[in-house]
Amino acid sequence: MKIAFIGLGNMGAPMARNLIAAGHDVAGYDTAATPEGIDMAASAAAAVAGAEVVITMLPNGGILRAVAEEIVPAMGASAVLLDCSTVDVESARAVAAQAEAAGLMALDAPVSGGIGGAEAGTLTFMVGGAPEALEIAAPLLDVMGGRTVHCGQAGSGQAAKICNNMILGATMVATCEAFALADKLGLDRQAMFDVVSTSSGQSWSMNTYCPAPGIGPKSPADNDYKPGFAAELMLKDLDLARQAAEEAGAATPMGDAALAEYRAFVEGEDGRGRDFSAMLPRFQGKTRG
């Protein structure tokens, strides 16, 4: 297929390379990045000309809306706009409506799996939009990911992503708190893991992405907390969850508490540029009071 890929940062570049390796014709565009192995166009509008599917991987809803203003008029009839960014639900729905008004099809398809998943082609895609658009994009999602879940109408993919990551943020804070408490109680970390990972306290944060170095499967904790998923990205997702909860009138006290912890960690401490599981050394250095 002829593909345009807009946004070739840490996630977008390996996703685009996997499409090229699978035999697809990919034209890329990014305002800053110039990744090797990808043919770069002079502008976003030039990249999308003639593309059957246009994939975007962008930092936020404002940038997505601005890019859509440029590329939607330049896209061919019946092309699919496949947005893999993580943005607010309102922006996802607004861009989908804009694309559909221009005779295009649109999908919001945020991902889970981080940079490692992007490189390995094992991402999970949470998709919102029409089934017929998903049918066209599905072969590309199969190349870039290991699982695709159709969540419903436009915006549903973003809704699923922020709900998932609100759970992830809250459970990681609780997991790190528990390890720091175990340390202060003199409980061996391996014993803690062996109990919790097979008991009612088990979670993905504990069993798969353990924040304690040398415990459980290998994770960023074993690499000095270099990001697999950066703390500032978790802050972004928790803030998107807060925004969605306010718009929906939903009570999310645990999500709000996790947001406050990550905001303090990223904006007031040394969390920026570290993995989101680096909450553990943060709590190790704190006392009650």
**Does residue 149 sit in helix, strand or coil?**
strand
Instruction: Provide the pLDDT for residue 146.
Output: 95
Instruction: Provide the pLDDT for residue 84.
Output: 98
Q: What residue spans define the domains of the chain?
A: 2-152, 159-285
Q: Do 2-152 and 159-285 share a fold?
A: no
Nearest by Cα to 74 from 110, 36, 27, 107: 27
Which tokens hold the place of 47? 């990249």
Instruction: Provide the pLDDT for residue 289.
Output: 75
pLDDT digits (tens, 9 = 90+) for 24-36: 999 999 999 989 9
Instruction: Provide the pLDDT for residue 67.
Output: 98
Instruction: Provide the pLDDT for residue 114.
Output: 85
Instruction: Provide the pLDDT for residue 97.
Output: 97
Fold of 2-152: Rossmann fold (3.40.50)
Instruction: Provide the pLDDT for residue 133.
Output: 97
Q: How far apart are CA 127 and CA 134, in angstroms?
A: 8
**Per annotation, catalytic residue among 161, 218, 226, 236:** 161
Q: What is the mean pLDDT of each run of 10 residues along the chain (289 residues)?
A: 96 97 97 93 96 97 97 95 96 97 97 91 97 97 98 96 96 98 97 98 97 97 95 96 96 98 97 98 92
Q: How far apart are CA 173 and CA 169, in angstroms?
A: 6
Residue 161 a catalytic site member: yes
Instruction: Provide the pLDDT for residue 42.
Output: 96
Fold of 159-285: N-(1-d-carboxylethyl)-l-norvaline Dehydrogenase; domain 2 (1.10.1040)
Instruction: Provide the pLDDT for residue 113.
Output: 87
Q: How far apart are CA 206 and CA 67, in angstroms?
A: 38
Decide: 117 and 141 in contact? Cβ < 8 Å.
Answer: no
Instruction: Provide the pLDDT for residue 228.
Output: 87
Nearest by Cα to 69 from 90, 39, 48, 52: 48
